[in-house]
Structure 1
Amino acid sequence: MSLANTTPQPDADRGRARHEMPDELRADVRLLGEVLGRVLTESVGADLLEDVEHLRALTIAAYEEDGSDAIEAAEALIDTFTVERAEEVARAFSCYFHLVNLAEEHHRVRVLHRREAEASPDAAPTDSIQHAVETLRQEVGEEETARRIAGLEFRPVLTAHPTEARRRAVAAAIRRITNLLAERDARLGGITLADNKRQLLAEVDGLWRTSPLRSTKPSPLDEVRTAMATFDQTLFEVFPEVYRRFDDWLAGDDAGLVPPRVPSFVRLGSWIGGDRDGNPNVTASLTKQAAAIASEHALHALEAVALRLGRALTLDASTTPGSSALEALWQSQRLLAEDVTDEIAQRSPNEPYRRVLLVIAERIKATRLRNADLAYDLADDLLADLRVVQESLVAAGAARAAFADLQQLIWQVETFGFHLAELEVRQHSQVHRETLAEIAEVDSLDDLSERSREVLEVFRAMASVQARYGVAAARRYIVSFTTSAEDLANVYTLARHAMGPEAPLPVLDVIPLFETFADLQASVDVLDAAITHPLVQERLAQTDRRLEVMLGYSDSSKDVGPVSATLALYDAQSRIAQWARDNALTLTLFHGRGGALGRGGGPANRAILAQPPHSVDGRFKLTEQGEVIAARYGHPVIAARHIDQVAGATLLASAPSIEARNSGAAEEFAAMAERMDEVSRERFFALVKSPGFPQWFAQVTPQEEIGLLPLGSRPAKRGLSINSLDDLRAIPWVFAWSQARINLTGWFGLGTALRAVGDVEQLRRAYARWPLFATMIDNVEMSLAKTDDRIARRYLALGDRPDLDALVLEEMALTREWVLIVTGKERMLANMRVLGRAVQMRSPYVDALSLIQIRALRGLRRPAEPDTTLDAEAQQAADERVAKLQRLLLITLNGVAAGLQNTG
């Protein structure tokens, strides 16, 4: 297969910039394309390869030129395919995208390794922790910088939102192929190179033969296990490795000899198994199971490290005597398990550190196995033992042993505890109100409906998880669609009903989630009332007045459009941050961002640096979901780089120069922002509030069919009626528009807003001076680069609303025009080499899948007129054809998601 042998050469008239592919990446893509071509020929036949190549040539021609004739020829070719052949072709292109994606990731790792090898120790990248620290030292001094480092927090929260279209089996195959590709960088030759090629063929053959579709929707526990794979493969090792590199840089020549100055600043959170908003599959029992699975993985990993460290720490008592505290620890261990300690003492008669650590490993194992006699009660007890060992080593002059692998283990325990991730519960405020109303009407809690009993049971589950793994394991309770302080108070009332009048409540940090435009505007008033609640005041006193507030990017964008949502979120953050300072509260804003640009996606470090003054203050928390988890944390090198960038931006955001820049720009361009907000919202409403818009949306996108795709355990709808979009989840809203190659949720209304401002010099000045505006423009540019008006027209033709078609296409053209005016570019992505290359390399092949998807949609959208003359056999044949078209559509959904690399 020669899918990679021709890189599309974009035509300048179509506004696309040309980006050359590095030779190493080109060679990898060509190799994988050839391997895939051979696999297709061997498994199906040369005729399949010919069809794929013919379609590929046509879509490349259409991409390079004005292309209407070539697109029509491509459609005509697809119409000649049987449904079975169309499926084979779609699967071939989907496989190609997986291979290109892994090749690009591998090349990125290659480049990062090379940069590190060639980098000067004194020249830190501008988006790194080192650069942030250097800037802070210049602006606030050494002492204040050290204080800010000590308070640094990064809290990524893994969610089960169904935006990862790949099966876990496909992801595993991709990892194996990536490893084989990496082997080739070692300059293999002869028999070894031939064996590598044989294995590549076998793995790509397996990838081709693996169904791209799950046979069933994953359960919430399946989603938990998927997250555990990320922990096992990267996160457990990467987080402390980032701490180590940062600390070594701070220590300089003293690295390894002095106590660490870098705290364990990452805390992993998870909604997987805890988020029940709209997901009836998440029950209290399942929440406890999710916590147990996570703990099993954490304890298994800690046990392995402690055992390895114990075996290696063979320091003799004559060279490194133990302290009195170490001896006391050993004696307490002997009292716990004399048989275990006797056996270890025999193997390590004069090695006090080795024997203590081996017993620590046994105790971690006992904690995992629930052996009460030997188990630790809490992770803090384990940390206390490890610090006794560390302090004894320092006192004995063995600082390098104290601050090497032992410090890594301490960081890992601090980061993950016995719970691995802080499990967060989320539920809709309306569910709470309805449950309390039902409680008021019944004589006994036993008389409640099943849903209301389940609402109460979750508080008992949280108490159980806290008792077993520690309070940090499950203390956050997020209230979706918070509209009043009463919505937060209701959580405490429900908890008291659940636990009874005498039992203590679980520790609760009740977090408001402001999602809609109206809720964002009312946020400060809600918070002001909430902190007068006695239980809130009590909890604030316990936490040194720490408060968390969550902001929803998805629903606000669906509510008022991307421009107004962006400005409303900035305004809300600014007001909440000032309110927190006025009330002496330590605020953490929790950003409910998605992977797609319509859900607050885009580079996280740039977004952090665009936030209002005092809204970050060294603390950043966000949701990580779907394909974003794999992209950011799937490879250890890329994960380390991502954490470095985010942590650096989190520190730098509070630099006086950054805060002054952001506040000054927001003030300077306030009138412009107000005009953009007003005009863009009006334009957005003109579309989404048009009569019949929901029905039209369901016709011109695969929105309805997305619900058939077994992406996740969560339903795609909150009981959606086709007459309303209010209950449509933001993820399928974004996913559907991206599949239709329109990406409307990322840009609609911006072109009209920019034109309304009209002052080009002012707009360019804002682009240069105001990070929020620049980030919005750049994100829209990325979103528009993945749109295609010719493909979009074919999706829009599936509906019968030329007025709405025209509105979408006019706004697309207007936004593209004004983004280029503001940025001063001649073509989209002209100075974004890596992203531009990725879009250029994939777009023609995404076009091919889109055209196959349109064929499937046309077949499914035909009015189904009942035909009573069909006999049973004919009716069965008709039903089978519909089933085949649905399967074809679902395969293209997977393929387009892989090609665009963001779904929701």
Structure 2
Amino acid sequence: MNAQAIPASTPPNASALLNNDDKDQQLRDDIRHLGRILGDTVRSQHGDEIFNIIEIVRQSSIRFGRDEDEVSKQALEAMLDGLSNDEMTKVIRAFSYFSHLSNIAEDQHHIRRTRAHLVAGSPPKQGSLAYTISTLMERGYSTAQLVEFFQTAIVSPVLTAHPTEVQRKSILNCQMVIGRLLNERDRMQLTPEETAANEEALNRAVLTLWQTRMLRNSKLSVLDEVENGLTFYDYTLLRELPNLYAGLEDLLSQQSPSKEPTELASFLKMGSWIGGDRDGNPFVTATVLEQTLTMQCTRALRFYLDELHALGSQLSVAQLLVGASDQLLALADSSPDQSVHRSDEPYRRAISGMYARLSATYHELLGGEPVIHPSGQARAYQNVEQLSADLAIVHNSLLLNGSAALTRGRLRHLRRAVDVFGFSLAPIDLRQNSDVHERVVAELFAAANPACRYLEQDEAGRIALLLAEISTPRPLSSPYLVYSEETQSELAIYRAARTAQDRYGKAAVPNCIISKTDSVSDLLELAVLLKEAGLLHPQEARLDVNIIPLFETIADLRNSAPVMKHLLSLPEYARLLDSRDLAQEVMLGYSDSNKDGGFLTSGWELYKAELALIDVFAEKKIRLRLFHGRGGSVGRGGGPSYQAILAQPAGAVQGQIRLTEQGEVITAKYANPEVGRRNLEVLAAATLEASLLAETEPAPRPEFLTCMNALSDHAFAAYRNLVYETEGFEQYFWESTVISEIAGLNIGSRPASRKKTTAIDDLRAIPWVFSWSQCRLMLPGWYGFGSAVRAYLEAHPDTGLALLQEMYRDWPFFTTLLSNMEMVLAKSDLSIASRYAGLVKEEQLRETIFTRICKGHVATIAALKSISGQSELLAANPLLKRSIRNRFPYMAPLNHVQVELLKRFRNGDQDERVRRGIHLSINGIAAGLRNSG
């Protein structure tokens, strides 16, 4: 943070940037520049003494990481022990903000190099739609076939609120300003005055960031989480999703022999759990769901109103000069805008009328008035399709009258936005645990017929009762009976979903997910509750929402195919699927399966579950849509989305996929508009490839599957033995990580544990993984692999290694599995982890477990290198390797200071600065890791 000032320079030309041997020179320049500004800010705010302390901490931390000896460890501990609580806080803030600034510089560098490739005319890069479309064309696909594919395709990233998203919106706003200023320096040749102004603005932005509170004063409510999620629509999604569609349509038009404009179906749409996920979150209620939808609708309608207002100012087309269609003229004549100044401007009058109608819709749905008042009164739109139809009239009239170019700007993007986001902005999924459904249904049955002892029935008896109930239009509940608070709450939220569909459209609340599904009755219990709310119609055999099982634990994944086969064999349920286009969604949970069985076994059981489900659905002639419950970290199913989708078994994607976007990964992917568009493009490209090219890929050889079974068995045994069977491991976990302190951080509305115990079984997967990330062990992302490979090679000394190497080379699933594990290992640090292990009070427990973990770590890295043929980690991923090299020396001090503060806090120092310092360090480390939760 003490680098010299670097003046802004003219933007480099693309060839110079791409041909430079040092691809990261500009990135390092930006990091040094921002670090210098941060250093100057700290010095100006707190003086040379604090600045020098920060520099000493940095140098000591680097020395400890390099030497890893007892002398450097003692020196570091002595130096930190001498700092006051106030000094500690300032050190943490400095290194935390440096992590944030490094992330901004890194994102900008990715954008810079992507643009340089585009300007230089480089071949399309893998993961881009241009690359995918080109590849498909080479394989013989026509434009018409691709357009047809998108007619039924579904790609849906689903934003979820989780406590690893530690950013405040105020911090994000500051970061957006800094990113914009760096971008300005890249793209524009600035005059000396403009350079000075840019530099001054950067200094102001960093000072504002430094003076902005990083932590929240109070715990987040669900509606706070909703508001946080909506900011990404402001930053990125409302504009970049339409941009992506426009780019893809133009790409397909260029490939078409006729070169005619292409209009695609809206296959890529966002989804959300925020405000609808009730599993373990008692604060999500019917009222919260209603308020969430109101907030979402407000965001969507305000955007459309602003865009219509701007479009009206732009389409100043005069009828005296250009004709208009009869439909457009009728639209103009029906407008309340009768100004003589626009009498010969039918497009403006038509758009003014649409603005008036949308204003009335705003008032009807939300009860308020838009910022800019309409020109007069008009009737409200009854649904979003009516608004789309009016926009289509404007579009078609321009096309018919020689003004095609005018359809390709704001009008095009607005039409797409309306089609993608509707009146509800994003579909909200409802999620609840199967245990809750079971209790509610049992209470409803008991109230209606005390002789019906639902909970005492076996599975067959339950199914019979439930099928009979969903086959009759008679309600099971009664307004004249008193039910428990839980039952009232569950019925209320489904009724609120029905009201939402009536109000905003069927897309507002289209999915209901059942956590911890392990039987057919779990799905039918939800069906009964949907019938009570009017979302299942027995007489018409119609479902208004998708019933989606979520299989999470290892046992549940193994049981998923038999459960679905039984369900799809029921005539009563099969008839309901007719109303859902003969498609059934199944969600697979990566987080709890990992916590249950470890990284390797979780990945393998998920893969096998998909294979089994593919066979069941093919037999039943039902379309399978998989919903992947991936977390931010590899320990919760995270990792690069492109490789993850391509690693799916053949037949698993079929043009439709949904996946969760969680924690701080949402910020990393969608806070920056260009980065956000790139991530959305990657999802679309991967879905195309996985759907259309999967059939050409060879199936994994039988010996690959046999080998994976053996590896999984060994890894599962090793993981379970350490985590669930080792005496004292629970104590080791709670004392050597920040799990206790995470519970006190105001970063989420959901409790960290399902029950008020310290049992690992009851702990949520998110804080489990997050805690291991903070102490830099990353245990859930690798443990068990090394011992599994060693056991396999001992059993197959002659052929084992060669087979593993073939699997790594030829099987995308195995390649991706090891690539994700390699990323985790590269972010782990045993020297830092040893200081967290020192927090464990019992020396024998500490030595026993930490030594065992270290041996597993060494064995895993050795096994990975042997299989991949690499001499060092990330040899095949230089981009991530350079990122870690640039950022991690400045992140390590946060770990060391966090350990010192944990010591003080746990030894009884109740100074508020200590508690706040711990929470600040959690924030900074999460920012540095970027995908820790």
Q: How far, CA to CA, are the matches of 1:501 and 1:698 in structure 2?
A: 46
Q: CA deviation at 1:375?
A: 1.1
Query: Who is 1:841 aligned against?
Result: 886
SS in 1 for 2:762: coil
Contact 2:498–2:535 (CA under 8 A) maintained in structure 1: no
The Cα of 1:500 is off from its aligned counterpart by: 11
Residue 373 (structure 2) aligns with: none
Q: Structure 1 pair 351/456, CA: closer, same or farther in 2 (3 Å)?
A: same
Structure 1 residue 729: deviation in Å? 0.7
Shift of 1:695: 2.3
Amino acid at match of 1:695: Q
Does 2:261 correspond to 1:216?
no
Aligned residue among 759, 768, 776 for 2:817: 776
> Structure 1: which amino acid aligns with 2:27?
L
How far apart in 2 are the matches of 1:408 and 1:318? Answer: 27
Q: Which residue of 1 aligns with 2:15?
A: none
Tell me how far 1:621 sits from its aligned partner. 1.0
Is 1:351 the equivalent of 2:345?
yes
2:387 is matched with which residue?
382
Opposite residue 835 of structure 2, the aligned amino acid is: R
Partner secondary structure for residue 272 of structure 1? coil
Select 2:734's aligned residue among 674, 698, 721. Answer: 698
Q: How far does the alpha carbon of each residue in 1:181-224 deviate from its partner, in whole angstroms, 9 at most, with x for none? A: 33333343544333333332232222222222111111111111
- Matched with 2:829 is 788
> Which residue, out of 875, 878, 900, partners 1:855?
900
State the match for 1:439 in structure 2. Answer: 444
Q: Is the 8 Å Cα contact of residues 158 and 660 (structure 2) preserved in structure 1?
A: yes
- Deviation, 1:764, is 1.3
* Residue aligned with 2:700, SS: helix
Match in the other structure for 2:802: 761
After TM superposition, give the deviation of residue 879 of structure 1 in Å: 6.2
Q: Which residue of 1 aligns with 2:139?
A: 139
Change (3 A) 1:50 1:272: same
In structure 2, the partner of 1:173 is 174
Q: Confirm whether residue 196 of structure 1 aligns to residue 190 of structure 2.
A: no
Shift in alpha-carbon separation, 1:144–1:252, aligned structure 2, 3 A? closer
SS at match of 2:699: helix
Q: Is residue 2:774 matched to residue 1:744?
A: no
SS of residue matched to 1:880: coil
The match for 2:355 is 361
Question: Does structure 1 retain, via aligned residues, the 8 Å contact 2:543–2:580?
Answer: no
Counterpart AA for 2:171: V
Under a length normalisation based on structure 2, what TM-score does the superposition of the two structures give? 0.88
Give the deviation of 1:703 after TM superposition: 0.9
Aligned counterparts, 1:598-747, within 5 A: 598-656=635-693, 658-661=694-697, 664-665=699-700, 667-689=702-724, 690-722=726-758, 724-747=759-782
Residue 807 of structure 1 and its aligned partner are, at CA, apart by 2.0
Residue 313 of structure 1 corresponds to which residue in structure 2? 315
SS of equivalent residue, structure 2 residue 32: helix
Question: Given the alignment of the two structures, is residue 880 of structure 1 paired with residue 874 of structure 2, yes or no?
Answer: no
Q: Which residue in 2 is equivalent to 1:342? A: 338
Aligned residues: 863
C-alpha contact 2:585 2:627 (8 A) present in aligned 1: yes
* Residue identity matched to 1:511: I
Show structure 1 runs of 5+ residues with no match. Answer: 7-18, 335-339, 863-877
| 1-structure distance, mates of 2:572, 2:215 | 48
Match of 2:486 among 428, 444, 451: 451
| Deviations 1:61-87 (CA, angstroms, capped at 9, x unpaired) | 233445553333222210111122112
- State whether residues 300 and 365 of structure 1, in contact with CA within 8 Å, keep that contact through their aligned partners in structure 2: no
Q: 1:502 to 1:202 in 2, by over 3 A?
A: closer
Q: CA–CA distance in 2 between the matches of 1:854 and 1:61?
A: 17
The correspondence of residues 45-56 of structure 1 with structure 2, limited to 5 A, is 45-56=47-58
582, 595, 607: which one pairs with 2:619?
582
Shift of 1:784: 0.6
Report the counterpart of residue 150 of structure 1 in structure 2.
151
Which runs of structure 2 are paired with 1:67-146 in the superposition (5 Å)?
A: 68-120=70-122, 123-142=123-142, 143-146=144-147
Query: How far did residue 467 of structure 1 move?
Result: 0.9
Which one of 524, 528, 531 corresponds to residue 568 of structure 2? 531
Q: How many Å separate the matches in 1 of 2:328 and 2:425?
A: 28
Distance (whole Å) between structure 1 residues aligned to residue 393 and residue 264 of structure 2: 20
Residues 201-253 of structure 1: CA deviation (Å, up to 9, x unaligned): 23222222222211111111111111111101211110111111111122129
Distance 1:37 1:92, change over 3 A: same
Secondary structure of residue in 2 paired with 1:709:
coil
TM-aligned CA distance change 1:516 to 1:369, over 3 Å = same
Distance 1:631 1:547 in 2: 31
Inter-partner Cα distance in structure 1 for 2:105 and 2:247: 27
Mapped partners of 2:145, 2:189: distance in 1: 49
Structure 2 contact 497–509 (Cα < 8 Å) conserved: yes
2:25 equivalent in structure 1 = 23
Quickly say closer, same or farther: Cα 1:135–1:200, change in 2 above 3 A.
Answer: closer
* From 339, 361, 364, the counterpart of 1:370: 364
Alpha-carbon contact 2:68-2:831 (below 8 Å) kept? no
Q: 1:617 to 1:537 in 2, by over 3 A?
A: same
What is the root-mean-square deviation in Å for CA atoms of aligned residues?
A: 2.5
Pairing 1:554–2:548 present: no
Aligned position for 1:422: 427
The amino acid of 1:400's aligned partner reads: A
Aligned twin of 2:877:
832
Distance 1:503 1:832, change over 3 A: closer
1:301-326 CA deviation, whole Å, 9 max, x = no partner? 11222222233223333554333333
The one-letter amino acid of 1:518's match is: A
Provide closer, same or farther for how the CA distance between residues 187 and 135 of structure 1 changes in structure 2, counting only shifts above 3 A. Answer: closer
Report if the CA contact (8 A) 1:4-1:33 is conserved. no
Unaligned runs of 5+ in 2: 7-20, 366-376, 449-477, 794-799
Shift of 1:100: 1.0
CA distance in 2, matches of 1:821, 1:401: 59
Letter in 2 for 1:688: V
Query: Could you say if the C-alpha distance between residues 341 and 210 of structure 1 is closer, same or farther in structure 2, counting changes exceeding 3 Å?
Result: closer
1:485: which partner in 2?
A: 520
Alignment-derived partner of residue 32 in structure 1: 34
Q: Return the match for 2:925 from 867, 885, 896.
A: 896
Pair 1:181–1:553, CA change in 2 (3 A): same
TM-score (norm 1): 0.91
Q: CA deviation at 1:5?
A: 11
Q: 1:792 to 1:3 in 2, by over 3 A?
A: farther
From 260, 277, 280, the equivalent of 1:278 is: 280
